[in-house]
């Protein structure tokens, strides 16, 4: 089974002017890892989901996500943005951005990941650990331990 997140799916210095650039940068990492077969097709699915409801949540978090025929395995990419990216949250831009990619027609992994992540993100200590993680591997270890439970 493919790991949900690996160090190559983590960008600790995400540069993006808007949510579309942020999603594109993280989707490119998924594609480079062989987890997304068509970046444009996947991003169209992410945009369609985003149009239904903004994916920004309070506390500086953005969680764009989509099921897509262009996804080969359930995956999570993470970006940390010093400047912040507007994902439509009432309290301002997101500094911690999670892109969840799930295969179309797959099982409940997509919603399970989203729910587990949301439960952890209410804890300031978890967000602080993500905001100060010194290396991609530290982010992977934190998410595996706190969200996935491995």
Catalytic residue among 65, 70, 95, 110: 65
Kindly state whether residue 1 falls inside one of the protein's structural domains.
no
Q: Looking at 13-27, 59-73, 84-98, 105-119, which range is the least confident one?
A: 105-119
- State pLDDT tens for residues 24-83: 999 999 999 999 999 999 999 999 999 998 899 999 999 999 999 999 999 999 999 999
Kindly state whether residue 98 falls inside one of the protein's structural domains.
yes
Q: For this structure, is 65 an active site residue?
A: yes
CATH code at position 140: 3.40.930.10
Kindly state whether residue 56 falls inside one of the protein's structural domains.
yes
Kindly state whether residue 37 falls inside one of the protein's structural domains.
yes
Structural domain including 53 reads: 7-148
Residue 131 contacts residue 94 (beta carbons within 8 Å): no
**Single pTM value for the model:** 0.94
| pLDDT for position 106 | 75
Tally of CB atoms within 10 A around 106:
13
CB neighbour burial string for 5-18, b if at least 16 within 10 angstroms, e if fewer: bbeebbbbebebee
| pLDDT for position 19 | 96
If pLDDT is split at 50, 70 and 90, which confidence band does 2 have? low
Kindly state whether residue 126 falls inside one of the protein's structural domains.
yes
Kindly state whether residue 19 falls inside one of the protein's structural domains.
yes
CA distance 25 to 19: 10
Kindly state whether residue 2 falls inside one of the protein's structural domains.
no
Tally of CB atoms within 10 A around 70:
22
Number of domains in the chain: 1
| pLDDT for position 148 | 85
């Amino acid at each position: 089974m493919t790991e949900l997140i690996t160090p190559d799916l983590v960008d600790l210095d995400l540069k993006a002017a808007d949510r579309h650039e942020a999603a594109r940068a993280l989707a490119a990492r998924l594609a480079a890892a062989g987890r997304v077969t068509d970046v444009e097709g996947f991003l169209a699915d992410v945009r369609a989901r985003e149009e239904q409801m903004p994916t920004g949540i309070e506390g500086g978090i953005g969680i764009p996500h989509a099921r897509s025929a262009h996804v080969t395995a359930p995956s999570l990419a993470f970006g940390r943005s010093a400047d912040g990216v507007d994902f439509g949250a009432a309290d301002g831009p997101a500094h911690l951005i999670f892109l969840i990619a799930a295969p179309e027609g797959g099982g409940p992994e997509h919603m399970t990941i989203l729910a587990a992540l949301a439960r952890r993100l209410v804890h300031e200590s978890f967000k602080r650990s993500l905001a100060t993680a010194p290396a991609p591997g530290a982010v992977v270890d934190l998410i595996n331990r706190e969200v996935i439970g491995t």
